Each structure stands twice: as C-alpha cells, then as structure tokens.
Amino acid sequence: MSCFRIMRQPSLVCLASLVWLVCLSVTVVQAADPIRLTHDGRMKFTPVFVDGGGSLTYVDFENPKVFRLRTMNWESKETKVIHEAAPAPEFDPAYSADGNYFSFLRATGGLQVSLVIRNRKSNEEVLIPPEPGFSGYRTPAIAPDSSHMLFSFANNFGQDIFRVEMNGQGRTALTGAKGINVWPSYSPDGKKVLFTSTRDGNYELYEMNPDGSDIKRLTDSPYQDIRGQYSPDGKQIAFVSHRDGNAEIYIANADGTELRRVTRHEERDDYPTWHPDGKHLVCVAERDGSHDLYLLPLND
C-alpha cells in the first residue's frame, strides 16, 4: 500500500513546491523590527483593539486549566485580568466599533461554552447558552453599527456562521453549513464579511455580504489560510497562512490580490489584528518557545 501512496503523491508534492516558489516571490512588508509587548511567555490568543486603540484585549492561557481575558493599557502597556473572579475559561473577545458592546465566550460546563453579549454602558448581559450536551460557540464579531452580530456554531456536521440581534434573538444561519465556517470579520463600512471556510476542502478565506449572499473565495493554498481581518480603511486584509511551512502573517488587498508576506520566522506568528492607525499589526509570536504579543510596523 505504501507504493500506492507514492503513486498518488507527486501531484501534491509538485503543488507544495509551486506554493513554496510563490512564497519566495512574495513581498515582505514589515517595515521595522517587531516590538515585544508582553514578556510572560504564556500562550496567548486573539488580541483585539478596543476604545480607539486605547487598550488591547487578548486571551491569556494563564495556567493549564484556564483561559483568561486580559486587557492591556496601550499607553502604559500594563495588563490586568478583566474578570478576576471568573472560575472558568473565557475567550474569543469581540467589541463593537463604538466600544459599547463586548462579546466573549465563557465555558459553563463540561465542553459547554456560552456566548456572552455585554452592554458596556449599562453592564447588562445577554447570555446565550449552548445546546444540551457538548456544545459551544466560537469567534463572535459585532457589526460596525452594533445592530447585530455574528458567531460560529455547529450545524448539521459543519460549523455555520449565524447572525443574531444584540439581544440574542433572531438567529439566522448565513453560510449554509457547508464545511466549517468560522472567524467572521466585518469590513469597517459593514458591507462585507470576511470569513474562513473549508467548503472547498481546506481552510481558505472568503467574503460575503452580511446577509450571507454573494460568497466569493479570496485565497487558494493547499495549506491553512485563516483568521482574516479587514484593515481599518477596508482596503486590505491580514491573515495567517501555513503556506510556507508554519504559521506566518500575510497581507493582501481586500479582494485577495497582491499577496504580501509580513513575518518570516521558523516559529509561529499568529492571530493578527490591525491597530486602528492601519500602519501596525499586533500578533502573537512564538519566539524561543514562548508566546508573546508583538507590534509589527508595516510599510506604507
């Protein structure tokens, strides 16, 4: 049977080689050395700016049992846990553009993860519980006008992107549950949603209208293209790709053209998020086996 495998692999190997050559020709757009923002080395996930860049919220793998939401004051770089008394993992933070809403996930039982939507002015919370059994939400994103939000949730052997009102009502599936659909991100004007889907085989980036119509594929690689984020002006996207052999950060035009590579390191560079100035990205980078937040200055 190993011979059978060998017979079937040349096309894959050739494809990988082609991708590698394409990668070598990609422009590197990082302007200066990255600036390290944290120094504890713990695993971190999904940084996101809030309050016009005044602070940065991220997920801290604080100990082997707990994810915690932590916020960094952007000026002082001091960090603090958002919910000191949280007894369970909390993760996947998202904010509305005006900062009035904060959404995140909270483990509420054995493989049970609820979606929390908080009005930051009134402190009122809507908690959307998972279904019975093993069940949980992923990757919330709030519309720029705070009229509704998106999240990913299991649906018929796949993972669909759903839309709900900010009160948790009116759940509507957008992506047809074809494969895994996850990491939705609104364009700044709210007219497009960038997301990742396996509908064509492996993880690729797609865009759609906020009602789920007009889905278009933006990337094409035999390896993961994931976690897309629109730039503040909506003209570019940043995302993570494994096309060079490990997780690296790339930028492209919003339609997927003019791919440019931002990071180049044998260790992992992941979870990019745009600084509101559009001239920097923040990411989680693994260096010497530790994971910290880094600020990446970009070329114009």
Partner 1 sequence: MLNIGSFKTKTCSGIGRRSFLQMSGAIPFGLGMSGLGAVTADEVDDVVARAKSIVFVFLWGAPSHLDTCDPKPDANSEYRGPFGVIPTRTPGVHFTELLPKLAQRSDKYTLIRSHIQSAPGHPDGGTVALSGFEENPKPVKPNFGSIIARHRGFRGKLPPFFSIANGVVMDGGRRIEAYGGGEMGAVYDPFMVGASETGEVNIPALALMDDVNPLRISDRRTLLQKLDAVPRSLESAKFRDWNRTYQQAYGLITDPTARQAFDLTRESKQTRQRYGQSVFGQSALLARRLVEAEVPYIQLNYSRHVEAITPGFEFGWDTHLYNFSLLQDQHCPIFDRAFSAFLDDIYDRGLIDDTLIVCMGEFGRTPKINVRAARDHWPQCYFSMWAGAGLQTGRVIGESDKNGEHPVTRPITPLMVGTTIAELAGVDSQARAEMRVLDGGRVIDELF
Query: Rule CB under 8 A: is residue 144 a binding residue for partner 1?
Result: no
Q: Are 185 and 193 in contact (CB under 8 A)?
A: yes
Residues 6+ apart with CB under 8 A from 9: none
Please report, as a single letter, which amino acid is at residue 70: R
Query: Rule CB under 8 A: is residue 43 a binding residue for partner 1?
Result: yes
Query: Rule CB under 8 A: is residue 52 a binding residue for partner 1?
Result: no
| Joined tokens for residue 62 | 């604080």
Q: Which of 162, 291, 294, 298 binds partner 1 (CB under 8 A)?
A: 291
Longest dimension (CA), the chain: 65
Tell me whether residue 136 is exposed, middle or buried, using C-beta atoms within 10 angstroms of its C-beta: 0 to 12, 13 to 18, 19 or more.
buried
- Whichever of 20 and 145 has its CB closer to partner 1, that residue is 20
Query: Rule CB under 8 A: is residue 170 a binding residue for partner 1?
Result: no
Least separation in angstroms between residue 238's CB and partner 1 is 18
How far apart, in whole angstroms, are the C-alpha atoms of residue 191 and residue 209? 6
How far apart, in whole angstroms, are the C-alpha atoms of residue 186 and residue 208? 10
How far apart, in whole angstroms, are the C-alpha atoms of residue 262 and residue 279? 12
For partner 1, the binding residues in 53-92 under the rule CB under 8 A are 61, 63-65, 87-89
Residue 138 pairs in a beta bridge with: 152
Query: Rule CB under 8 A: is residue 253 a binding residue for partner 1?
Result: no
Query: Rule CB under 8 A: is residue 107 a binding residue for partner 1?
Result: yes
- Whichever of 82 and 154 has its CB closer to partner 1, that residue is 154
Contact residues: partner 1, CB under 8 A: 1-3, 5-6, 8-9, 12-13, 16, 41-43, 45, 61, 63-65, 87-89, 107-111, 113, 134-136, 138, 154, 156-159, 179-180, 182, 198, 201-203, 221-224, 226, 242, 245-246, 268, 286, 288-291
